[in-house]
Amino acid sequence: MLNQLRPAIVVFVVLAAITGLAYPLAMTGIGGAIFPAQAAGSLIEKDGKVIGSSLMGQEFKGDTYFHGRPSATTGTDPQDATKTVPQPYNAVNSMGSNLGPTSKAPSDRIEEDAEKLKAENPSMPVPVELVTTSASGLDPHISPEAALFQLPRVAKARGLPEDRVRALVSANTEGRLLGLLGEPRVNVLALNLALDAAK
Amino acid sequence: MTLIGWIQIALFCAVILVLTKPLGGYMTRVFNGERTLLSPVLRPVEAGIYWLSGVDAKREQHWLSYTVGMLLLQVVGLVFLYSLLRLQDVLPLNPQGQSAVASDLAFNTAVSFVTNTNWQNYGGESTLSYFSQMLGLTVQNFLSAATGIALAVALIRGFARSSMRTLGNFWVDLTRVTLYVLLPIAVVFTLLLIWQGMPQTLGAYVDASTLEGAKQSIAVGPVASQVAIKMLGTNGGGFFNANAAHPFENPTALSNFVQMLSIFTIGAALTNVFGRMVGNPRQGWAILAVMGVLFVAGVAITYWAEASGTTTLQALGLSGGNMEGKETRFGIVASALFAVITTAASCGAVNAMHDSFTALGGMIPLINMQLGEIIVGGVGAGLYGMLVFVVLAIFVAGLMVGRTPEYVGKKIEAREVKMAMLAILVLPLMYLGWTAVAVVLPSAVASMANAGPHGFSEVLYAFTSATGNNGSAFGGLTGNTFFYNLTLALSMLVGRFFMIVPAMAMAGSLVEKKSIAASSGTLPTTGGLFVGLVIGVILIIGGLTFFPALALGPIVEHLAMISGNLF
């Protein structure tokens, strides 16, 4: 048994150096050289300041912006460090609600949100992902239907013709890859940036 | 359910089938020590490792010393990872200044990664330094996967060789799998993931000011290199807390599809390695067929359940399925498919929160794990788990016709059946036993996030996942407590090694037997009858073991949901 102690230690050390240092560091170097934007986190800058990442959802509350999905992420209470409070789109603490199908809490929340959305736009059915929290709490996308649902509100708040906003929504809609994989979606941050640019 | 959804599922199965044969062929060459395309580059590295460690690559090992070598490596890995986590505050590459990991959480995490479970009681971006992610977790992602594959190959040799005493050399198998199989695929895979938008940087978290003027700190890191091997090695431990649901850990539909493929590829190819090594590739396809039938059945149920949604959503007239805890870019079908794949294999990465699945949609992942993760399964672990069930099925068939059972030319006798039973019985002992303890301990009950039967399911899922070395979770359960850190770690250790040691003992006994030619009395093990028999044995043994527990959790929850009861 002792004669295997040396291989156990040496093989471990060498393979750890290869897989735990050489491999990730080489990948960091090569990845950063070939795909610098992606490797850094697909960051978006505006006037020299980072305003977010094109892959990361962020919170939108105002009427002039399209809203993303409800987010269940939490963070430390700024008033009291021992407490955890809801902090939607907290990108250093990803999580879902983890509430199940027979749990009362999400059921009440969904009913309440659906009522509010119905009042906002009675002409369309409420899209399901506008009342359900995403898995990561950082979902950057909504479905095209969820964007169209919010369109009258945004157009009115901005004083833009609905057709103009509709054109922006379709310009920012991504289809399925090769018509097969994934779901059609709209990147909320990209759409809102396009809105700001359209002023 | 939609046509395009079914096409995505069919496409996934087709690509796996196409990859099985060529990768199986390549891996067989690697295990046989033959020359491969990569030999000119890797052969000197390999030789250097043997020289440094004093391993004689030509000297093969008896099953016992093969197993002892494997166990020693686990001890070294465990001590190293535990120390690293405890000391991360004084080690380099810690731009966020993460503090040392608490002792019980460090123990749980170390066991979790050494056993290829990757249960996450830690939240990656809020707990671990880049150094711990790289030199700690990434290393174990490679080595625990390589260990599983090496063991599976040793068991295959047990079936394939006739009247021998040795099963190969553990250090050689381990090194070759790591260098020739895992590392090259991981390099290509990492670059693909970075291209798709996965960060790979050592820089600190980025502070952004959002369009509405709020502050958003964005966690980044060397994500892609860790995720590539996390999927390929069926490890599943996320760089981020939300795992493959996090937009950085799974940015696009393409990254998602390739991640799903990478979970199954090596496991499926190992069935082909088995067929080739025992001299009849059809033996491998028969095993893959057993896995395939169980897999497709699971996908169909989960997809249907999630697409149907919950009664709350239905009552409000919200169509589009149960999107709670799912990401828009994946939708219902890719989330349901991923959930079944990750639990059929012992991966445990998630791209949707299983805790928020419907009762029946969440029951399939639970069943997949309770069957022992033999539907393709963890790399290596899935194959030796499945062969254990095959031995049992052959034994049952032998009893029915009154002949000594044989499988691929080896007589299956008392010792093999005893070892198979030991491996099969240990799993339910852990997950049912600890669940029973947890639900009567008030402090353990307090960890549940959901009331009613769903809370019970959370606990059952946790111990099932730990014992099965899966690592996915009904994430609402607060697992980072002293009780769960310790009991889950124990379940992981028992689930891993009380499966491995009996399987290796079986290999040791099989390799000494003489291979006998098939006669007219031999049950053919390449046809539909055999496939049906194995599926039957798996479902009967599995069903008898865990049906009562499922009745208390998902089944009663489903009945409560359709009658409108909320908790």
Q: How many domains does chain A have?
A: 2
Query: Whole-number mean pLDDT of chain B?
Result: 93
List, in sequence order, the alpha helices (H) in B87-138: 103-114, 124-127, 130-131
Question: Cα B551 from chain centroid?
Answer: 25
B226 contacts on A by Cβ (under 8 Å)? 24
Radius of gyration of chain B (CA): 23
Residue A43 near chain B (CB below 8 Å):
yes
Q: Is A145 exposed, middle or buried (0-12, 13-18, 19+ CB in 10 A)?
A: middle
Q: In which band, very low, low, confident or very high, does the pLDDT at B211 lie, cut at 50, 70 and 90?
A: very high
Rounded to two decimals, the ipTM of the complex is 0.95
CB interface of A with B, residues 68-87, below 8 Å: 69
Question: Is A82 found in the same domain as A18?
Answer: no
Q: How confident is the model at residue B518 (pLDDT cuts 50, 70, 90)?
A: confident
Surface-to-core class of residue B169, CB atoms within 10 Å of its CB (0-12 exposed, 13-18 middle, 19+ buried):
buried
List the domain range (segments joined by +) for residue A158. Answer: 42-198
* In a shared domain, residues A81 and A18: no
Neighbours of B123 (CB within 10 A): 17
pLDDT of A162-194, one tens digit each?
999 999 999 999 999 998 899 999 999 999 999
Q: Return phi, psi of residue B159, to 5°.
A: -75, -40
Alpha carbons A16 and B53: distance in angstroms, whole number: 14
Indicate yes or no: CB of B72 within 8 angstroms of CB of A8.
yes
pLDDT at A99 exceeding the cut of 70: yes
- Res A50: pLDDT: 94
Q: Which of B4, B198, B454 lies at the smallest CB-CB distance from A100?
A: B454
Predicted confidence at residue A127, as pLDDT, reads 93
Rounded Cα distance, A54 and A34, in Å: 19
Query: Is the predicted pLDDT of residue B289 greater than 80, yes or no?
Result: yes
Intra-chain end-to-end CA distance of chain A, in Å: 75
Residues 371-430 of B with CB under 8 A from A: none
pLDDT digits (tens, 9 = 90+) for A44-88: 998 889 999 999 999 999 999 999 999 999 998 888 888 899 999
Q: Do A50 and A21 share a domain, yes or no?
A: no
Same domain, A47 and A32: no
Domain identity same for A21 and A66? no
Q: Please judge whether A180 and B7 are an interchain contact, meaning their C-beta atoms are less than 8 angstroms apart.
A: yes
Q: Verify whether the Cβ–Cβ distance A10 to B320 is below 8 Å.
A: no
Q: How many CB atoms lie within 10 A of CB A46?
A: 12
**Inter-chain CB proximity A125 and B210 less than 8 Å:** no
Q: What is the DSSP string of A72-107?
A: --EEE-SS-TT-EEE-TT-TTS-------TT-HHHH
Q: Which chain A residue is nearest to residue B207, measuring alpha carbons? A: A50
CB contact (8 A) between residue A91 and residue B68: no
CA distance linking residue B448 with residue B121, whole number of Å: 14
Q: Residues 330..349 of B with a Cβ closer than 8 Å to A: which? A: 330-331, 334-335
Residues A54 and A141 in one domain: yes
pLDDT in tens, B251-275: 999 999 999 999 999 999 999 999 9
Looking at the complex, does the CB of residue B186 fall below 8 Å from at least one CB of chain A? yes
pTM of the predicted model as reported, rounded to 2 decimal places: 0.95
Q: Which of A91, A128, A190 is nearest to B123 (CA)?
A: A91
CB-closest option in B208, B225, B452 to A51: B208
Same-domain pairing of A186 and A111: yes
Q: Does residue A29 sit in the same domain as residue A47? A: no
Question: Minimum mean pLDDT among B260-264, B307-311, B556-560: which range?
Answer: B307-311
Q: What is the dihedral of CA B412, B418, B419, B424, to 10 degrees?
A: 110
Whether chain A has a CB inside 8 Å of the CB on B54: the answer is yes
Q: Give me the amino acid identity at B512.
A: E
Minimal CA separation from A171 to chain B, in Å = 17
Q: Are A145 and A161 contained in the same domain?
A: yes
A113 CA to chain B: closest CA distance, Å?
11
Cβ distance A183 to B310 less than 8 Å, yes or no, reads no
Residues A64 and A157 in one domain: yes
Contact with chain B for residue A106, Cβ under 8 A? yes
* Partner-chain contact B318 A101, CB within 8 Å: no
User: B136-159 burial by CB neighbour count: b if 16+ within 10 A, else e?
Assistant: bbbbbbbbbbbbbbbbbbbbbbbb
* Helix or strand holding residue B55 (H, E): none
Q: Are residues A46 and A135 in the same domain?
A: yes
Specify the pLDDT at position A199: 67
DSSP class of residue B216? E
**Domain match, A15 and A56 both:** no
Q: Per-residue pLDDT for B527 more than 80?
A: yes
